[in-house]
Structure 1
Amino acid sequence: MEIKWLDWAKELQAIAQAGLTYSKDMYDIERFEMIRDLSIEMMAKQTGTPQKVVKELFANETGYATPKVDVRAVIFKGNKILMVKEKLDGHWALPGGWADIGLTAKEVAVKEVREEAGYNVQPIKLLAVLDKKCHPHPPSPYHVYKLFIQCEITGGSGESGMETSDVGFFAEDELPPLSVERNTESQIKQMFDCVKEANVPTYFD
Structure 2
Amino acid sequence: MTLSDLAADAIAALTDTRWSVTDAPAHVPARPGLYAIFGDERAHRELGLLEDAGARSAPDLPLYVGKAEASFVERDLKDHFAAVPGSTARTGGSTVRRSFAALLRGRLDLHGVPRNREIPGYFSMYSLAGDGDAQLTTWMHARLSLAVWAAPVQMSVKLVDVETQLIQHFTPVINIDRNPRKLARLGVARKAMSAEAKAWRPAQAAREAERGQ
Give the TM-score taking structure 2 as reference length. Answer: 0.26
Greater strand share, 1 or 2?
Answer: 1
Greater helix share, 1 or 2?
Answer: 2
Larger RCO, structures 1/2 (Cα 8 Å, 6+ apart) = 2
Larger Rg over CA atoms: 1
Give the TM-score taking structure 1 as reference length. Answer: 0.26
